Amino acid sequence: MNTYAIDLSLKPTTFDLWHVCLAGTVALLSLILIVLLLSVVISRIRCKKKSTIQQTVPTPEPVVKIVEKIVEVEKLVHAPAPEPVVLKEATPDAALQLLGLLQKEARFIDFIKEDIAAFSDADIGVAARVVHEGCNKAINEHFTLATVRNEQEGSKITLPQGFDAAAVRLTGNIVGAAPFTGTLVHKGWQVTGIRLPKLTAGHNAAIVAPAEVEL
């Protein structure tokens, strides 16, 4: 078997086309390697610069926007409170004076306070006639009376809206609001004049009928 020994220390004595191609390839690969290394170095430098710039740029502070909210408030307007009802204090003297007049003219208190259970109807009728005549005299002498309504009793009348509820009293089936149409049952009475006698100072009106002593 034949063996060949290669002496690497030998230098070529000729420089042909093959050696030119080999040298060109080596040079090209070296150039490509250098370019790649340069690009890697440049990219790393750029990355470092970008990170440095990002660190140095201050983070913008958040902008606080003030939003005005309009709240609609419904104002409740309360209806004015009704005026308090002023009650007029009745003077007892006039009432006591009238009661005294009825007692004087018709023995009104005597008739009311009498126990009539023991009397017959005829006796009660006679006494009632006396009381009626005396009361009629006292009323006509000291008061002027007139009817509230002028229509005939039993006739149909219509009460408009806003009628005087103190002068007309409704009875029966009251439904809805005025106007009301109904039958006049009673004309009503109203006092148009008063002629009570004047009292002297110190007069005790509570004595509607003094005691009687016959001497």
pLDDT, position 192: 95
> Strands 189-194 and 156-159: what pairing?
unpaired
Mean pLDDT by 10 residues, the chain (215 residues): 53 61 77 82 78 58 61 55 70 88 93 92 92 95 95 95 93 90 95 90 87 91
Report the predicted TM-score, pTM, of the whole model to 2 decimal places: 0.54
CA dist 191 and 147 (Å) reads 9
pLDDT, position 128: 93
**Domain residue spans of the chain:** 90-143+192-209, 149-187
pLDDT, position 109: 94
CA dist 21 and 29 (Å) reads 12
